[in-house]
Amino acid sequence: MRVLGIETSCDETAAAVVDRHRILSNVVSSQADLHGPFFGVVPELASRAHMERVAGVMERAMRGAFGPGSGLSEARRLDAVAFTQGPGLAGALLVGSGVACALAAALGKPVLGVHHLEGHLLSPFLSVDPPEFPFVALLVSGGHTQLMRVDGVGRYAILGETIDDAAGEAFDKSAKLLGLPYPGGPGLARLAEHGNPAAFNLPRPLLKSGNLDFSFAGLKTAVMVQVKKLSAVRAEPVEAWPPQLLADLAASTQAAIVEVLVKKALSALRETGLRRLVVAGGVGANRELRQQLDGACGKLGLRVHYPEMSLCTDNGAMIAMAAAMRLQSGQQAPSTTYAFDVKPRWSLASLPVS
């Protein structure tokens, strides 16, 4: 089953072709440079960039899948077209959904709207070491931090989630406080490699709450307090700090986030009795998180699965894969009705289950 997946939920314009569990092509056009001066995604700019780029990205994905002489003219070789229906920025979602439904209508092929988070959740099935159901999933990205029990495609039970800032937001907002450029999270992680994670005593919010919920807003505030305090004592802005001081605060911030994620994930495994953990989402690419989870789970004889590094951030392959798995499992019937809507706010728990 060959599925074209189109992803335009935020600030990456992406398209990919997946055949069963094999990626035939995966093209991503990042908008990081566009939004960098604003240190965050500007919705109107994102929508316009998607409109300008989506056709070219799809063309490249088709050539990558079917050969250099092909392109959208070869789209008849597809079995279905999938797109991100939500959650995300409304204007950005409309670009991808409109293009996908128009292409499917022109081809007379079925079309499927896909939940963005389900795409992340199922992306490890494209890896060289795919998981097996059931498992606990740690879905951790810029906008979402959730723990859930996954018993099959569409069979998701939320165990815990963030009550304010997600882990990715804590990375990005802390990076901004340290004067790092956008996107801040990966830059903070690189800086942390040269720092002392015990240099600053930062809070681990809700670590001993007795539940599996998360909260990272307080950690961001604690980083802000440290920056203001040190800047006042040193009588200089953060941009003038010695590199080692910046690295120490970055490492301490990362250590706090990672400790909470690891311990909550282990608690979820213990409470459910499951022995397999899947980590997905952009923060799943964090090397310190992977190292800590691998070490902790290894000692307990537990398995951990991750998507490939290139599949941690938003991409079309995960959307195509989620659509294919829904079709193959019978959880969703393909549609040949090409009217569409988007769902900027959409709970993963509300997905249809047959």
pLDDT of residue 17: 98
Our measurement of the distance from residue 121's CA atom to the centroid of its chain's CA atoms, rounded to an integer in Å, reads: 9
Cβ atoms within 10 Å, residue 244: 12
pLDDT tens digit string along 301-312?
A: 999 999 999 999
Q: Residues near 341 by Cβ (< 8 Å), separated by ≥ 6?
A: 85, 97
In whole angstroms, give the CA distance from residue 107 to residue 222: 54
pLDDT of residue 192: 98
What amino acid is encoded at 17 in this protein? V
* Helix residue spans in the chain (DSSP H): 32-35, 43-66, 90-107, 116-122, 167-177, 184-192, 217-234, 243-272, 287-300, 316-329
Among 313, 345, 285, 326, residue whose Cα is nearest residue 13: 313
pLDDT of residue 354: 56
Domains of the chain: 2-122+312-350 (3.30.420.40), 134-306 (3.30.420.40)
Structure tokens at 143: 């906008």
pLDDT of residue 25: 97
The torsion angle over the Cα atoms of residues 173, 177, 180 and 184, rounded to 10 degrees, is: -10
Residue numbers of the chain with a pLDDT score lower than 50: none
The torsion angle over the Cα atoms of residues 272, 275, 281 and 282, rounded to 10 degrees, is: 120
Our measurement of the distance from residue 337's CA atom to the centroid of its chain's CA atoms, rounded to an integer in Å, reads: 29
pLDDT of residue 9: 97
